[in-house]
Amino acid sequence: MKFEQHHASHVLTQWAQLGINFDVAPLGETPDLERLLLETARHLPHNPRLLTLPATWLAEYALCVAKLRLAHLVDHELEPEHIGPLGLLLETAQEAIGDDPFRDAIDVCAARLERLDPEPKPLFVKSRGHTTLAALAEQNASPSSQRWRHWAQAVELRPEAVRSPRRVMANNPELQRRADLLGDLRCSIIETLRHDPEAGRSAMELQRRCHLKSYPPVLHALKQLERSGTIERIAEGTSKRIRLIELPEAA
């Protein structure tokens, strides 16, 4: 129990670092955003605020998410029982945006959920195993939560609970670089190299970790990043290792 509480608290401290007004001290450094979303899905059924507030943040800062990296992590690191909660979180944010920035990750969630074909149930643990609460959860379930097999009411986002872009970016300069790249393939390559440097052993490995079936887009993105001085490619035998060049902090 203490182990689980520690991990749940760590999720809150990471979101506090990113500007959500949780009543905890911020982490002190910018977290791995894509893995934080996976961690959030794991703890969401125990804390309703982990649906409303991260969805609010995502609706405001969707450009900061390395979208192809997120799709890969969903496919390879997220446990089956947490697919529905993550899909619901991403779709809730996406509906508020009125666009589909998380399409790739949502498609992965949907495909995995279809293969699993789980029995629908309340999203929140407190309603499970309680006949009346479970029935109410089903009765009041939003269409989106029904699709994700985890019943919950539609949520109203709370932009007042998220700090201003100026403050969020000042406390997390890495997010500014993510946003400047629109969360595109270059962003996924940079964040993969930052958090999983072993992925730089080859361009093909980066292709895999960026959830791409085609190789040329990765080569094109690598050339762009090399020209901008963001990465370097170092010859090692017949291949080239890719290394992220740490940039100075943004002003």
Question: Are residues 22 and 120 located together in one domain of the fold?
Answer: yes
Q: Which domain holds residue 91?
A: 2-161
Asked if the model's pLDDT at residue 249 lies above 80, the reply is no
pLDDT digits (tens, 9 = 90+) for 3-25: 355 678 999 999 999 999 999 99
Tens of pLDDT, residue by residue over 84-97, are: 999 999 999 999 99
Is residue 250 in some structural domain? no
CATH of residue 198's domain is 1.10.10.10
Same domain, 33 and 64: yes
Query: Last residue of a domain, which of 129, 146, 161?
Result: 161
Domain count, the chain: 2
Do 128 and 220 belong together in one domain? no
Predicted confidence at residue 232, as pLDDT, reads 97
pTM, two decimal places: 0.95
Residues 131, 44 share a domain? yes
Beta strands in the chain (DSSP E): 121-122, 150-151, 231-236, 239-244
Contact of 124 with 48, CB cutoff 8 Å:
yes
Residue 234 exposed, middle or buried by CB count within 10 Å (0-12, 13-18, 19+):
exposed
The string of pLDDT tens digits covering residues 105-136 is 999 999 999 999 999 999 999 999 899 999 99
Q: Are residues 15 and 113 in the same domain?
A: yes
Quote the mean pLDDT of the chain: 95
Do 81 and 18 have their domain in common? Answer: yes
**Residues 6+ away with beta carbon under 8 Å from 193:** 199, 200, 206, 231, 242, 243, 244
Alpha-carbon span 240 to 202, nearest angstrom: 6
Is residue 172 situated within a structural domain?
A: no
Residue 11 and residue 62 in one domain: yes
Question: What pLDDT was estimated at residue 238?
Answer: 82
Mutual angle of helices 33-43 and 67-77, in 10-degree steps: 50
Spatial distance between the Cα atoms of 234 and 242, rounded to a whole number of angstroms:
6
